[in-house]
Copies of this chain bind each other. A is one copy, B any other.
Amino acid sequence: MSKDRPYSALVQRLKAAGLRPTRQRLALAKLLFEAPGGCDRHMTAEQLHAEAVADNVRVSLATIYNSLHQFTEAGLLREVVVESGRSYFDTNVTDHHHFYYEGSGRLQDIPGELVHLDSLPTPPAGAKVARVDVIIRLQDDE
């Protein structure tokens, strides 16, 4: 019965990540991962907060930050820092890269296959590669 298992897929997803499926985490996960139109989203904390408020979900900004970081930690999100005070959380956690429109501040995915990194220098002994970020910065008229 749907009444007994609201958003069961999301609940499972949170549980699998070791996170209690609380009211606010579920609401935020719904906004992030089950947005009506699209799929891959690039959201700032403020944007997500605004969406939550607009959707009548009462969450504090602190919880937004907590949740975004916990989701990121759990591999449900990926953080992309584009410039000084501007950091996005990307719902696409597959191997991929980004176009960054400097004028509008918009971020756009580039499938991982489209960028071939050859002959990466071997990182110093003892260091593991955590991730490779490629950001192609575009100049667009603001």
| Interface residue ranges, A against B (CB under 8 Å) | 81-84, 87, 99, 101-102, 110, 114-121, 123-124, 126-141
A139 near B119 with CB under 8 A, answer no
Known: A83-B81, A114-B121, A120-B114. Contact between A130 and B135, CB under 8 A?
A: no
A119 near B115 with CB under 8 A, answer yes
B116 near A118 with CB under 8 A, answer yes
Known: A81-B83, A84-B87, A132-B135. Contact between A101 and B118, CB under 8 A?
A: no
- A135 contacts which chain B residues (CB < 8 A)? 132-133, 135
A47 nearest CB across to chain B (Å) = 16
Known: A84-B81, A116-B116. Contact between A130 and B139, CB under 8 A?
A: yes
